[in-house]
Amino acid sequence: MSLRVLAAGHLTTVQDRGRPGWASLGVPRAGALDAPAAGLANRLVGNPAGAAVLEVTLGGLAVRADRDCWVAVTGAEGPVTVDGRPRGHARPERLLAGALLEVGTPWRGVRSYVAVAGGIAVEPVLGSRSTDTLAWVGPPRVEAGVVLPVGDPAGPPAPLDTPRPGRPGPLRLHPGPRADWFAGDPLAAMCHAAYTVEEASNRVGLRLAGPPLERVRTGELASEGMVLGAVQVPPSGRPVVFLADHPVTGGYPVVAVVDPADLWICAQLRPGDEVRFSPARPAAGAAPTR
Amino acid sequence: MRARPVGPSALLVEVAGPAEALALAAWVREQGLPVVDVVPAAETVLLDGVDGATVLAALLAWVPTAEPPVGDLVEVPVTYDGEDLDAVAEAWGVTATEVVERHASLTFVAAFCGFAPGFAYLAGLPEELAVPRLDSPRPRVPAGSVALAGTWCGVYPTSSPGGWRIIGRTDVGLWDARREPPALLPPGTRVVFVPA
């Protein structure tokens, strides 16, 4: 079966869990920015965790299926309709052949996820169906007029799932490898300050305005590998939190790293939203997270 | 060798230079350490997706060496007609013809990739031949451009903005996601440029 896209809004992309493992060739990991929301959407329609979903930025998506199927919309909450009639958020919904599913502008948050039973079945690139918006590795962005193939459903929908806490807290910070390039205790300074999300934020990074971090070491840093959640500080002193499409190497010092469990919050922050940080508790004998 | 934690699941290992970074990256892969991404760079190797304590313990067994395993040799045919060829000749104090001879006589080694998929930072230009970047990057550098910056040489896999000094161009494909491996010049590859 397939989905015909009639409108794709500001930016809609296909995303799964990304393509980690290719950084040494210069390939960003990509993948759903709000990974828990994408995972929930997949569970609701009975998909395996690695199935590809649609990531819709600030709504504006309209699709029509050519066969009856289960769909679920999670992440940023907003109007979801089928043929104009309201449907639920974060629950499996039956979409009949020919009916129009619309995901409107969210009331809060930025990115909504649309899972279809069977998963979006575009051709994988380097083992993933995710679109990376930095280098455009992966399938092209979803645009009006395209027809997206959908795979065969793997199992029945799962109407019951545990909702996640709705209120995001401060972003927990681990010390970065170049914290010593900054004056005083830069993590403490960040945890005491309030930042604002800047307009230029995207899948590459969450750009923050706030009190600039003062550098004590001048000179250039040789480019080095960057991790997901790295808080890089360019000469302006305004931090950038690296998200899924971040460049694999960078030449500005990384003062801190946002805890992986808090990255979904970054995916849902809008320009103008306030951001607070708090120190992450170092995990004793930390287990690998991936 | 010094390793700095980068969040809860990565280590940044500081090394003496690109050759040692390559050697360590190759060693980590050979050892089969549980790492999702190994990212060599100019003075560091990032080990991402790791249990820091386990990997740190394993790293103690590494004997630093600046001799990475000898990689494949790739010949890249170049038409030396880049718009910065004369500027590079001036910087080197030689003629354009001599720039070509000199550049084509060197064996480069792909130290690491970055900037774009398949863009390899090629080490091998001696310090005295280092050239500065352009003061302001060009908005569009065509795919296949062979360019210099500092002591690095690079070939643009796709057209993109760029501030390196362009000395020539090649028709070889640097990047193809459907090829195995997708990058023509993965880290460790030896590269010689052949005047086309």
pLDDT tens per residue across span B101-151: 999 999 999 999 988 899 999 999 999 999 998 888 899 999 999 999 999
- Residue A278 tokens, joined: 């708090």
Rounded mean pLDDT, B169-189: 94
pLDDT (tens digit, 9 = 90+) per residue, A32-54? Answer: 999 999 999 999 999 999 999 99
Rounded mean pLDDT, A52-74: 98
Rounded mean pLDDT, A215-220: 86
Q: Where in chain A is the domain with CATH 2.40.100.10?
A: 171-279
For A172, name the nearest residue in chain B, comparing CA atoms only. Answer: B7
Is pLDDT at A286 greater than 50 in this prediction? no
**CA nearest neighbour of A268 among A10, A35, A90:** A35
CA distance A78 to chain B (A): 34
- CATH code given to domain B73-195: 2.40.100.10
Whether residue B7 and residue A137 make contact (CB cut-off 8 A), yes or no, is: no
Count of CB atoms within 10 A of residue A134's CB?
A: 20
Whether residue B9 and residue A126 make contact (CB cut-off 8 A), yes or no, is: no
Q: Name the CATH architecture for the domain at B2-59.
A: 2-Layer Sandwich (3.30)
For A248, name the nearest residue in chain B, comparing CA atoms only. Answer: B114
Decide: B98 and B167 in contact? Cβ < 8 Å: no
CA distance B194 to chain A (A): 24
Residue B67: pLDDT band with limits 50, 70, 90: confident
Partner residues linked to A232 by β-bridges? A240, A254
Per-residue pLDDT, A164: 62
**ipTM, interface predicted TM-score of the complex:** 0.92
Residues of B with CB below 8 A from A259's CB?
Answer: 7-8
B66 touches chain A (CB under 8 A): no
The per-residue pLDDT of chain B, averaged, comes to: 94
The per-residue pLDDT of chain A, averaged, comes to: 93
For A287, name the nearest residue in chain B, comparing CA atoms only. Answer: B51
Whether residue A249 and residue B114 make contact (CB cut-off 8 A), yes or no, is: yes
Whether residue B37 and residue A24 make contact (CB cut-off 8 A), yes or no, is: yes
Which CATH class for the A171-279 domain?
mainly beta
DSSP A168-208: --PEEEEEPTTGGGBSS-HHHHHHHS-EEE-TT--SSEEEE
Rounded mean pLDDT, A248-261: 95
Residues of A with CB below 8 A from B6's CB?
Answer: 176-177, 227, 230, 254, 257
Per-residue pLDDT, A165: 56
Rounded mean pLDDT, B88-95: 97
CA distance A87 to chain B (A): 39
Whether residue B115 and residue A260 make contact (CB cut-off 8 A), yes or no, is: no
Q: Where are the domains of chain B?
A: 2-59, 73-195
Count of CB atoms within 10 A of residue B22's CB?
A: 25
Whether residue B177 and residue A125 make contact (CB cut-off 8 A), yes or no, is: yes
pLDDT (tens digit, 9 = 90+) per residue, A158-187? Answer: 877 766 656 688 999 999 999 999 999 999
**What is the pTM (predicted TM-score) of this model?**
0.92
Identical fold between B2-59 and B73-195? no
Residues 6+ apart with CB under 8 A from B31: B58
Whether residue A289 and residue B9 make contact (CB cut-off 8 A), yes or no, is: yes
As a whole number of angstroms, the distance between CA A234 and CA A19 comes to 27
pLDDT (tens digit, 9 = 90+) per residue, A111-164? Answer: 999 999 999 999 999 999 999 999 999 999 999 999 999 999 988 998 777 666
Compare CB distances from A126 to B5, B38, B177 and report the shortest one's residue.
Answer: B177
Residues of A with CB below 8 A from B115's CB?
Answer: 26, 247, 249
Per-residue pLDDT, B93: 97
Per-residue pLDDT, A288: 40
pLDDT (tens digit, 9 = 90+) per residue, A76-92? Answer: 999 999 999 999 999 99
Report residue A77: phi and psi, to 5°. Answer: -90, 130
Rounded mean pLDDT, A219-223: 86
Per-residue pLDDT, A210: 95
Rounded mean pLDDT, B12-19: 94
pLDDT top residue among B25 and B1:
B25
Rounded mean pLDDT, B12-25: 94
Instruction: Give the Å distances, CA to CA, from A242 to A28, A55, A245, A252, B127.
Output: 11, 18, 8, 12, 33
Is pLDDT at B77 greater than 70 in this prediction? yes
First to last CA, chain B: 42
Residue A283: pLDDT band with limits 50, 70, 90: low
Whether residue B183 and residue A137 make contact (CB cut-off 8 A), yes or no, is: no
CA distance A229 to chain B (A): 8
Rounded mean pLDDT, B62-88: 93
* Chain A interface residues (partner B, CB cutoff 8 A): 20-27, 125-126, 135, 137, 174-177, 222-227, 229-230, 247-249, 254, 257-260, 280, 282-283, 285-290
Residue A289: pLDDT band with limits 50, 70, 90: very low
Per-residue pLDDT, A290: 36
Whether residue A225 and residue B46 make contact (CB cut-off 8 A), yes or no, is: yes
Q: A194-209 burial string, b = 16+ CB within 10 Å, else e?
A: ebebbeebebbbbbbb
Whether residue A227 and residue B44 make contact (CB cut-off 8 A), yes or no, is: no
Whether residue A249 and residue B112 make contact (CB cut-off 8 A), yes or no, is: yes
Is pLDDT at A104 greater than 60 in this prediction? yes
Residues of B with CB below 8 A from A223's CB?
Answer: 41-42, 114
Is pLDDT at B35 greater than 90 in this prediction? yes
B29 touches chain A (CB under 8 A): no
Per-residue pLDDT, A166: 60
Residue A236: pLDDT band with limits 50, 70, 90: confident
